[in-house]
Structure 1
Amino acid sequence: MTAVVPPSQPPQPKDSPRRAGRRSPHPPWVQRRIIELRLQGLSRIRIARTLTEERIPTAGGGARWSPSSIDTALYSCYLADAARSMGIDPEQLRRPYQH
């Protein structure tokens, strides 16, 4: 007998009802801090370095932020919602980084 493996679920769009009720991996104060740093014009590398220096834990509880985790946060629906609640267009956060 062979085991039947169910087909994998396709990725869900950000507005999917399956995402409804899920909590952000980052608490609101961390989301606000990322938004503040991005609005100051900091690059994803500088934001990651700053959060690490400030000893703000990552979503997984780690001590060191990476530039890719900043990208993930900036493009998340949760951070977009946080930005909108602050009266900020999320697209403003996603503009090209200054060096």
Structure 2
Amino acid sequence: MQRFTITTATSTAKAEQSRTAGYEVIDLSRASLRDTVARLTDGKGVDVVLDGMAGPIIGEALGALVQGAPSSASATPPACRPTSTSRT
């Protein structure tokens, strides 16, 4: 069984940086996450989804899980993320 990591990027430039580092990357500005995962995994899906952003893509990412895989996601909701402050 082949195991590898699939990452995503929101732009072609970011995707190229990740590819240069050796990752399999889905460029979300050009391709569907679910369709590309299906192609890369011969339709089987992925075993694990990690989403550190809690963004709009989480539903599509969880939809790419192997049928019957535990569906767990952990992320920091935007309202809980630290914001920068400046002192005057």
TM-score of the pair, normalised by structure 1: 0.27
- Please say which structure displays the higher CA radius of gyration: 1
Give the helix-richer structure, 1 or 2.
Answer: 1
The structure, 1 or 2, with the larger RCO (C-alpha pairs under 8 Å, 6+ apart) is 1
